[in-house]
């Protein structure tokens, strides 16, 4: 299971957190921290070419529509399309992921001596961070977006499971080589707290735990009829007992001769 560190605990999405726990032990995940821009999730896998994935998480109850390089609209509850809010630097949620990934890459390069164990200074091009947009909505929501960016740089995903499989399988063509110790040093440099230790030796993505199914009891019509009859018999006996208790006791009745 993955090693997970976090900054602002109250901002962590519990569904995504539980999913990331299922990643193999070779993964480290950093959640909700700030480098001048807020980072929702940063996934690292130490390797000859280390995996570095930035994931911008958005939850939307209604669909988005738009182009890669333009503002996006969001459908209102009444069905009308309205321009989605955007800040001064990010045109839409995809570009928010791209710009945050670039800012994180710059931070990793500029601060490499804080967490790397060797003295050689690696070039900035080795610290490229892949940008993902994880856009989660209620089942049946159909977003009106291109399938992917024309540049093939980054991707958006609409389910946690698809995104998780992508993270598990993704391998960079180039990049810096980080060791597990250096990734731990990185968590310390970012002042993150360990919230999930990981440490499972199984190096495979764990499947989703399905719901526990209780056995369905068989229904026997004859047995049920017998049960109803027994209830009716018990009710009759109770009525008879109540009638007997409420009837006057002959020994307690007044003697006509004594009243005279």
Q: What pLDDT shows up at residue 232?
A: 64
CA distance 235 to 109: 83
Q: What pLDDT shows up at residue 259?
A: 40
Q: What pLDDT shows up at residue 230?
A: 61
Instruction: Answer yes or no: are the C-beta atoms of 199 and 3 closer than 8 Å.
Output: yes
CA distance 144 to 65: 4
Q: What pLDDT shows up at residue 88?
A: 79
CA distance 127 to 122: 8
Residues of the chain with pLDDT under 50: 210-219, 249-260
Q: Which tens digits make up the pLDDT trace of 59-97?
A: 999 999 999 999 999 999 889 999 998 887 899 999 999
Closest CA to 170 of 162, 182, 180: 162
Q: C-alpha angle 199/211/158, rounded to 5°?
A: 75
């Amino acid at each position: 299971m993955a090693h997970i560190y976090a900054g602002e605990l109250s901002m962590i999405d519990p569904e995504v957190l539980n999913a990331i726990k299922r990643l193999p032990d070779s993964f480290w995940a950093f959640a909700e921290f700030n480098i001048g821009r807020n980072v929702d999730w940063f996934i690292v896998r130490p390797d000859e070419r280390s995996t570095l994935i930035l994931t911008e998480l958005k939850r939307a109850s209604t669909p988005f529509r738009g182009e890669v390089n333009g503002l996006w609209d969001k459908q209102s509850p009444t069905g009308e399309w309205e321009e989605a809010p955007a800040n001064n630097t990010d045109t839409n949620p995809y570009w928010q992921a791209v710009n945050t990934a670039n800012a994180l890459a710059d931070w990793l390069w500029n601060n490499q001596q804080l967490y790397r164990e060797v003295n050689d200074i690696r070039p900035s091009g080795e610290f490229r961070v892949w940008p993902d947009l994880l856009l989660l909505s209620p089942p049946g929501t159909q977003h009106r977006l291109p399938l992917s960016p024309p540049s093939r740089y980054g991707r958006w995903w609409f389910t946690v499971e698809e995104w998780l499989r992508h993270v598990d399988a993704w391998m960079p063509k180039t990049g810096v080589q980080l060791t597990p110790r250096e990734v731990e040093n990185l968590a310390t440099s970012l002042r993150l707290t360990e919230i999930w230790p990981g440490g499972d030796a199984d190096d495979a993505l764990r499947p989703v735990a399905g719901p526990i199914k209780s056995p369905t009891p068989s229904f026997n019509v004859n047995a049920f009829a017998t049960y109803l009859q027994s209830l009716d018999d018990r009710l009759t006996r109770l009525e008879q007992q109540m009638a007997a208790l409420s009837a006057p006791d002959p020994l307690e009745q007044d003697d006509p001769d004594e009243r005279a």
